[in-house]
Amino acid sequence: MDATLLRWIELAAIIVVGIAGAFSFGRILWTQRIGHIWPKRGEIKIVNKAGLITGIAEVALQTRVIANRPIAGIIHLVIFYGFVSFGVKSAMHVFSGIMGHTHPVSLGPVDGFLDVISVLVFIACVLMAIRRFVFMRDRLTHMLESGIVLGLISGLMVTYILERPFGLDLGLEGTAAKVNWWVHYLILCGFPSLIAYGKHLHLLVAPLNVVLKHMTELPSDRPISGGDFEMPEDEDLFEAEYARVGMPNGVADFSFHSLFDTAACIECGRCNDACPSAEAGLAPRDHFVLSLRDPSVDSEGLAELITPDILATCTQCRACDTVCPVGNRPSKAGLEIRGRMSFEGMYPVPGITEGAAPVTATGNLFGEGPEAREKLIADNTIPIYDHAQHNVLLILGCQGANSPELQPIVTATTKLLELAEVPFGVLPKESCWGEALVHGGGLMEDWPFWKMERIEELDTALDGDRERTILTICPHCRDSIGTQYADAGEVFSSVRSHVEFLASLVRDGKLVMEKKAESVATHHPCKMIHNDESKYMDELLDAAGVTAFTAGKSPNIPSCCGGGGGGFLWDSPAKVNRDRWDELAATGQKKVVTSCPGCHRMLDVAKSEDGELTDISNVIYDRVMAARAAKAKSAGSQTDPSTDAQASSDEQSPS
């Protein structure tokens, strides 16, 4: 047959195979993976432009991949860079074949680099195959697909090596060279379809997802899905509002980010390993990510994939988000599943609704009347907030105001504010700010009205000044006022935690401590980690002379007390608080310091008989009073005896 005709036939075959591969890839990608996600792209809200650099750095260095599983991470790093590096080379490979060159187009020094990379990638593929099929075969998923992918990547490396001088130097001329070129080309054309079909789509999607994670979220609490629900009187408006926050169309109604995570998921199981509720059956990968992969699943089908009793065990600690190497946020999707199921009447479970019931009945978690809070205020002569006199409105919260075990946190904090001469006051009356309702089944019926009543109370007290500092002892109260109200369009711009505020007072010299050597275990509350405030707790402990031992991998990876996500409302089968106390006890310290009344309460239930719990405010108060006593003593005869007596009396710690 004429050589020219053969050449035209070959070119036609190259074009047909290339078009077929591209069409197959595009069709699978659109119809099965991203076609239902793309219309939701308008939901992407950029809040952190600097996150572009942070995200690119994480992708380029694969820091999160390596951090959690170093050996596997380094192997993945080699394969990742091999995948990226060979993009240009593969394009040149196709170009050389089309043009009929006898040797591949030279890339100069880059060719030598690719020679090394090709060998490393091939070795990495062999090691990954051994790891997957020998050591991890009982834990990993998609064994056949992963085996094919490793085989195809290895095929690309082998065909490249065979045409190179350090291999068999086949070049592009001759029967063997043609066969080698076509094997390489067929892999290139078929590989994208396999990637689009299976979990390896993360090779294309994950880098974008990592960057989006950094650009669309700052350290903060998260709005509850459906927390901005309004209760319109018009029936048509009500139906439209319900459709926005519920899921009449099932999985297809979920947000861009929850659905995009399904395309980025590598299904490695790191999130499952990190989950504190895993022993109770919760698997973030399966329940919060893969359950949303099929947009045709309706609400009842989703409830079968993630049952309400399992869903309820999530503490929203975000350990799963922290360890994910591809930028997924399973806990955020879990929060959305909870919200949408709530509006469908599928969530929460009875135990949680029963735990939240006292709030609507009495205004607080404990079902207490106003007497306990009034007595606390009177006993400690805590001033009632006056907008003309006070710069800070102190929120006591359900727990700080009503629980005898937690009232010492209020006492210590108020005394420290007085000593620092901070003009502050508290509300004459105070109800739960909403955490129990949004997690306890009140999203549709109670929350829309409850939040507006609380907002009106704040506006009245603050005389409409929403820039005035609102100081909270409980991170959950700060979440409600600072995040959930803001999501409903009601913004109070300066809602601060007592830990961060006390740290600023110490830093500014308004509170002076005497360093007293002491060793303790530290429990960093999840919400403080989410808001990047655990550093303030560490700063205060260091200034107080305390040697703090962290437990588990906290605070780099949150270790929850079990109270988050509504866990404080019921006796969860996950028993996260017991596991956390065991972690803290393993440090060898009897005393544990935390900075959240909720954590204090959850750990108090689980602690050993000889264990001791205290809040950071009590630690600081003890040191401040020690410094004042030392100063009074050094003054000697110049000190008024009555002042000495008062200082001695004040030295008794509220704890």
Average pLDDT over residues 99-103: 81
Q: In what order do the strands lie in the sheet with 518-522?
A: 546-550, 518-522, 591-594, 612-615
Tokens for 444, please give them: 């549709």
pTM, whole model, 2 decimals?
A: 0.89
What's phi and psi for 256, nearest 5 deg? -55, -50
pLDDT at 109: 84
What's phi and psi for 393, nearest 5 deg? -100, 115
Concatenate the DSSP letters of all residues of 139-198 into one string: T-S-HHHHHHHHHHHHHHHHHHHHHSTTTT--TT-SHHHHHHHHHHHHHHHHHHHHHHHS
Average pLDDT over residues 333-342: 97
What is the band of 638 on the pLDDT scale with cuts at 50, 70, 90? low
pLDDT at 436: 93
Tokens for 229, please give them: 């629900």
pLDDT(68) > 70:
yes
Work out the mean pLDDT of the chain and round it to a whole number: 92
pLDDT at 176: 92
Bridge partners for 140 per DSSP: none
Range with the poorest average pLDDT among 184-188, 241-245, 465-469 = 241-245
pLDDT at 643: 46
Q: Tokens 């005898």 map to which residue?
A: 404
CA–CA distance from 524 to each of 400, 563, 594, 598 (Å)?
A: 18, 13, 6, 12
Average pLDDT over residues 36-60: 95
Average pLDDT over residues 112-138: 87
Average pLDDT over residues 145-153: 90
What's phi and psi for 615, nearest 5 deg? -95, 155
Average pLDDT over residues 117-134: 89
Domains of the chain: 3-200 (1.20.950), 219-350 (1.10.1060), 360-504 (3.40.50), 512-650 (3.40.50)
What is the band of 626 on the pLDDT scale with cuts at 50, 70, 90? very high
Distance CA 197, CA 190 (A): 11
- 191-222 pLDDT, tens digit each: 999 999 888 899 899 999 999 999 999 999 99
DSSP state of 514: -
DSSP state of 104: P
What is the band of 648 on the pLDDT scale with cuts at 50, 70, 90? very low
Judge whether 150 and 128 are in contact, CB under 8 Å.
yes
pLDDT(373) > 60:
yes
pLDDT at 63: 87
Average pLDDT over residues 145-169: 89
Closest CA to 379 of 368, 367, 390, 371: 371
Distance CA 151, CA 471 (A): 59
421: left (phi over 0), alpha (psi -120 to 50) or beta: left
Average pLDDT over residues 277-290: 97
Cα 159 versus chain centre, distance: 42
pLDDT at 647: 46
DSSP 3-state of 103: coil
- 478-517 pLDDT, tens digit each: 999 999 999 999 999 999 999 999 999 999 999 999 999 9
- Kindly report the three-state secondary structure assignment for every residue of 328-387: CCHHHHHHHHHHHHHHCCCCCCHHHHHHHHHHHHHCCCCCCCCHHHHHHHHHCCCCECCC
Distance CA 462, CA 386 (A): 8
Distance CA 91, CA 275 (A): 42
pLDDT at 479: 97
What is the band of 13 on the pLDDT scale with cuts at 50, 70, 90? very high
